[in-house]
Amino acid sequence: MLDKECLFCKIIEGKIPSAKVYEDQKMYVFNDIAPKAKVHLLAVPKTHFALLSEADGEGFSMLSHIFEKIPQIAAEYGCEKGYRLVINQGEDAGQTVHHLHVHILGGQPLDW
Ligand code: 5GP
Ligand code: ZN
């Protein structure tokens, strides 16, 4: 289920434009609008939930699919030498968009 007030749900539905790099039935991947590395992709499940603690069976099935697909997508889009995955959860982590997403950062050496 998508949420009509949510920015990433609107991106998934094509109501807000995005630079798509990959899409299938369970996930949507696009370029971050404010990249923090040479390559900065966002991978989102095609169902709306903000936090891991809110995911149901369908959510975890989509997350599992996302992690299965990420190696191939990352390698294809400039992260063949490695990449970092980040999932910000809640206020202290600085989560700003409340639709769970995986940041894929790479294309350069990354400071810890
Ligand atoms: P968070 O801080 O929630 O982990 O990450 C949200 C990310 O979404 C940020 O890196 C931010 O740059 C990105 N972002 C916010 N609004 C948009 C948008 O309208 N389009 C795209 N492509 N990325 C966005
Ligand atoms: Zn959403």
- pLDDT tens across 67-83, in order? 999 999 999 999 999 99
Catalytic residues: 101
- The pLDDT value recorded for residue 105 is 98
Cα(58) to centroid(ligand 1), Å: 23
Q: Phi and psi dihedrals of 27, rounded to 5?
A: -145, 160
Residue 36 Cα: closest atom of ligand 1: 10
What pTM did the predictor assign? Answer: 0.98
- The pLDDT value recorded for residue 109 is 98
Cβ atoms within 10 Å of 37's Cβ, excluding its own: 19
Ligand closest to the CA atom of residue 16: 1
Hey, CA dihedral for 98, 101, 107, 112, is it positive or negative?
A: positive
Banded pLDDT at 66 (limits 50, 70, 90) = very high
3-state SS, residue 73: helix
The dihedral over CA atoms of 40, 61, 51, 21, expressed in degrees to the nearest 10, equals 20
Domain borders along the chain are 1-50+86-112
- CATH number, span 1-50+86-112: 3.30.428.10
